[in-house]
Amino acid sequence: MGDIENLPDDVGQLKHLVCDCYQQINHLQDRVALLQAALYAPKSEKSKDLYQGILPLPIVRIAEAKPVEVPVVEIPAHTRAKRGRKPLPDNLPRIEITHDLPEDQKVCACGACLKRIGEEVSEKLDYVPAIMRVERHIRPKYACPACDGEEGMPVVRIAPMPPQIIPKGIATPSLLAQVITAKFVDAMPFYRQTKQFARLGVDIPRHSMSGWAMAVAKALEPLHELFQAEIR
C-alpha cells in the first residue's frame, strides 16, 4: 500500500480497501492459530509431514486501488416478458399445513352444507436452524459372577470404541466435516465459526478448531497420496 496521497477519494473504493484488509487480517490470524497449535503440540506431532498435511489457506492480495472512470451508456427503452417464480426443488421434503374454514362457515346461506370442490396450494421455503447435540456412547461392562476369570482372559469385558479421527476427541465426524467445510470451502474463518457456535450455546475456541483441522489433514494424507498417484 502506498502513502496516504495515493489512496482514492471515492468512499466506495475506500470501503472495498477496508474490507480487503479485514479479510487479510482474518486469514493471517487463522494461520497464526494453526502455527501456534502445531508449535505447542506434542513432539510426536511436530513433524514435517504434519505441516505438509495442513490444508492451504487462501491469502487475499490487496492491490493498489486506482480511480476508474465509468462510462455512461444510454440504453433505449424496451419491453421484457415477466418471468414466473422458479418452482421449489422436488427433492425437498414437504410439510402440509391445512388452513380450513371453521365449521360454521361451511354452511351456505340457503342452509345447505358446502361441498369441497378443490384446493389452492402455495409453497413457501422454510429453514430449520442447525442444532447442537451430545452423543452419549455407553459401553456396558460384563463380568463372570461364578469365577475370577481364567489366565489370559480379562475378568471384565467391555466393547471397544469405534475408530475415531481424533482419539479421545469430543468432535464427531459430522462436526469435523462442518468445521472443515465452512473454513476451506465457504471461506468462513475460525473466529466467525466460534461466534456461530456460541449462538447455538456451545463454546468452541479457535485453537480447538485449528487442532481439529491439522488432525483431519493428517488423517487425509493417505487419500491425498492416492489422488497424487492417480494424477501422475
Q: Quick check: is 122 in a domain?
A: no
User: What CA–CA distance (Å, rounded) separates 75 from 72?
Assistant: 10
Domain extent for 12: 4-67+166-231
CA–CA distance, 229 with 232 (Å, rounded to integer): 5
CB 30 within 8 Å of CB 59: no
Query: Is 155 among the domain residues?
Result: no
Over residues 95-145, the pLDDT tens digits come to 999 999 999 999 999 999 999 999 999 999 999 989 999 999 999 999 988
- Residue at 20 is within a domain: yes
In the 8-state DSSP scheme, what is residue 141? E
- Which pLDDT tens digit goes with each residue over 9-27? 777 887 888 888 888 888 8
CA distance 22 to 193: 16
Asked if residue 207 belongs to a domain, the reply is yes
Question: Does the residue 173 lie in any domain?
Answer: yes
Task: Please indicate, yes or no, if residue 16 is contained in any of the structural domains.
Answer: yes
Please give the model's pTM, rounded to 2 decimal places: 0.58
